Structure 1
């Protein structure tokens, strides 16, 4: 009987999260339709739609999107990997923590955009400078969360591993990494978010020929608010996709914890 009345999957999903975006879209449409705001500042939804269609048809959107995502991926890979290694080193070795942690704690207080003049002086304003900036944005949250995850591993686990005569590599692979994995994945999730934000910041402050941020800058310079708002929508959608991807990845990688409990 339950099978007969079971609803399809798409009907059983919770759609309450769409209430706020749809309400904002409706308010946007009402405000622009009844001229409650300056159309030169707040373009109507249909203008944004037409601008997006033009970008899609000319192919410029895909080129900008690929350029931005490639910068994001390169910076995330470099900064995330370096952050993982340093976080593990600080968490495992007290000697390493005493040597590096004071300097790291001072550097992490510097606002990420304050690094741009130094990065520009060392690497120029080309592609390498943008990747370094994105890597820096991913680096700090990764180090902090990996370090906290490793230091949060129960001493009981370590003592049991030593009783079984685990070597350093076995201790890291079979005890420390699994126990610290939730915090490590939190660091990865933050690194994904910050690297995407840094990608747009790099394109804004170190202007490039292609990129979603560059497309928004061009729209602003030509006072084409439809293009600017289309870029804002694209940035928001990609950010939501990244957040959704990281959440699903965390659930999948930590599924073993639920089975074991």
Structure 2
């Protein structure tokens, strides 16, 4: 095999994502299985007050009731619709603002200090102002979620653009690239991993903010309202069911984003 072929083979191997072995996948289930077994034992032996720690069987019965009556799908679809709307709005604005701050020195000097102050304000500190301006309905929740998605996209997009390797910019200058060609063919491809990280964080943050918005802006339907209902009626089975759904949806979003990231890494590597 020639040196060139060896180099190509090594490059392809480096671009392949690390695949967990079957053994490592099973190891990841040890802690959840142990936690459920301990939960089942404590509830069966009445070690803990049954009103505070219901049995897994009770939670499964509640899950079956929520699914068969359609209450789960109505609540979950409302939450996901808000999350998707806020995520799209916040991500779109974040990409535009992040690109502007990264590409324009003037914009960075004018807007950068204000944005750096804005991002230091806790997200939940905006709740009183949002509730006064937009009420407690879906509009207020979408505004809140848009803010949650905006900040990580702006920060990562701006940083990705501004950390473009100088060697790449020098190559573009030598080849006589125009400003537009340099941005579209050099800067943005180099910044793509950082931009995707911002979008990935926006997806996760907006889902977490969805639950917070539904819990604090209680008007309407959603999986967060399911938690409120369980808490108000002291139904720990409903609370634990809602928490399980939230965790499962978050895990699915994370897994989907990671899979897309691996595909993106292979595509950019080939490019």
Please give the TM-score of this superposition, normalised by the length of structure 1. 0.92
User: Is 1:23 paired with 2:38?
Assistant: no
State the aligned residue count: 252
The CA distance in 2 between the partners of 1:33 and 1:159, in whole Å, is 69
Equivalent residue for 2:151?
A: 140
**Cα deviation digits, residues 107-145 of structure 1 (max 9, x gap):** 111100000011111111111110000010010111111
Structure 2: how far apart are the matches of 1:115 and 1:122? 11
**Residue 218 of structure 2 is aligned to residue 207 of structure 1:** yes
- Render the CA deviation track for 1:51-76: whole Å, top value 9, x for unaligned: 11100011010011100000000000
Q: Residue 130 of structure 1 corresponds to which residue in structure 2?
A: 141
Task: Determine the C-alpha separation between the residues in 1 that align with 2:25 and 2:270.
Answer: 26
* 1:228 paired residue number: 239
State the Cα deviation string for residues 167-216 of structure 1 (Å, max 9, x = none): 33322221111101111111111111100000001100111331000011
- Runs of 4+ that moved beyond 4 A: 10-13
Pair 1:174-2:171 in alignment? no
Mapped to 2, the partners of 1:88 and 1:12 lie a distance apart of 43
RMSD (CA atoms)? 1.6
User: Secondary structure, in 3 states, of the residue corresponding to 2:40?
Assistant: helix
Task: Determine the structure 2 residue equivalent to 1:256.
Answer: 267
Unpaired runs of 5+ residues, structure 2, are 1-20
Q: Distance in 2 between matches of 1:169 and 1:47?
A: 61
Moved more, 69-78 or 147-156: 147-156
Structure 1 residue 104 corresponds to structure 2 residue 115:
yes
CA contact 2:137–2:220 (8 Å) conserved in 1: no
In structure 1, runs of 5+ residues without a counterpart are 1-9
Residue 41 (structure 1) aligned with residue 57 (structure 2): no
